[in-house]
Structure 1
């Protein structure tokens, strides 16, 4: 049975932190590939994406195009509406019966897991890879946070350390809105695209 990692999100925009997390998860958990899944609308965020769905999808495609084990899926964008991970996993497992899926999330999202749609059924279907990432000011995530997660979910989460890069899509949008450079924070091809399309210029 092959092991595939899944990384969902708005990717608004995708940045090098996403790629580092995917690469380290592959190494640590023996994943064959990582599939990136831009979502139509995140259920636990109030803010609507700043870039259009096709623009976010294109930035992800450009960012991962040179990695032989990275793929991009558009099933959540095609489905539209609020993107629930359970629905995505149900679709993927129906089409990939001989695949073990691992959902990659930042450790800042781990404590949100009890609020996820149909979380107990979802956790019975897949494992979660929690990649350690810093908070907005660069402090590493607190390894003591996991005990706050219900035990039934703790046993479904694999913790993977990654370099502590204080980068977020929010920071990138804010910098662009303020007329500041985001070069080297966003993969080169995606960076050229967002500059060409003048994305996020009204943010911040």
Structure 2
């Protein structure tokens, strides 16, 4: 019987262990004034359709629109988001724009996030109606090289773009944050429009009543 030595054992090529794999992170930006069930449904639908690792809700500090929305204090919007995303392991919260303060430009945010988390590929979720305005976005030609735009088809919008956009179909919901604020002012029920925990927070802190 031949003797087995270290020299006679064939060498096996061992692949290096990958300590970091790329993660697919959705970013759902907005004022969330307040967050409602349609927001949650869109995030869940897109997250599963694109097999994202996580969908982060990203409230803005000051929206970069000419007709600036009168949003309530950021701490209340964030508190309601925390309550709303409980129970769904797909959801997370990204506070980069709140912490930075000032006007929120997507270019600045994505640049900041990619520098902090180079292992992530980001998917920025917008409504189909917002796609029509992409040519006017701050530094859009640089931005489209940094992030994947995901658009939710909307009735009445063109739902097409010359920019690279991933289109996702979700069930249509016909109410907005503005509708909810108006209903609260009129004393009308918002049940099933927002999570119960959010409705309770609004009531306890007397939000949107004035």
Report the TM-score when normalising by structure 2.
0.86
1:49 & 1:94 partners in 2: Cα distance?
Answer: 31
Tell me the CA shift for residue 141 of structure 1: 3.9
Aligned position for 1:113: 134
- Cα offsets for 1:102-144 (capped at 9, x unmatched): 00011111111111111111111111111124xxxxxx344xx
1:164 & 1:146 partners in 2: Cα distance?
Answer: 14
Aligned position for 1:48: 69
SS at match of 2:63: coil
What is the RMSD computed on CA atoms of the aligned residues? 1.3
SS at match of 1:175: helix
Alignment pair present for 1:85 and 2:93: no
Maintained 8 Å contact 1:172/1:182: yes
- Count of matched residue pairs: 189
* Aligned 1:7-22 pairs, distance under 5 A: 7-22=28-43
Aligned position for 1:58: 79
2:44 & 2:63 partners in 1: Cα distance?
Answer: 24
SS at match of 2:65: coil
Maintained 8 Å contact 2:44/2:90: no
Alignment pair present for 1:179 and 2:187: yes
2:38 & 2:70 partners in 1: Cα distance?
Answer: 18
- Cα offsets for 1:160-190 (capped at 9, x unmatched): 1111110211111111111111111011111
2:196 & 2:46 partners in 1: Cα distance?
Answer: 22
Unaligned runs of 5+ in 2: 1-21
1:72 paired residue among 93, 99, 118: 93
Tell me the CA shift for residue 47 of structure 1: 3.2
Tell me the CA shift for residue 21 of structure 1: 0.6
- Cα offsets for 1:49-94 (capped at 9, x unmatched): 3311100011111100211121112221111110011111011101
- Cα offsets for 1:18-45 (capped at 9, x unmatched): 1111111111111110011110011125
Unaligned runs of 5+ in 1: 134-139
* Aligned 1:99-138 pairs, distance under 5 A: 99-133=120-154
Q: Is the helix fraction higher in 1 or 2?
A: 1
Aligned position for 1:163: 171
1:180 & 1:45 partners in 2: Cα distance?
Answer: 30
Report the TM-score when normalising by structure 1.
0.88
1:27 paired residue among 29, 38, 48: 48
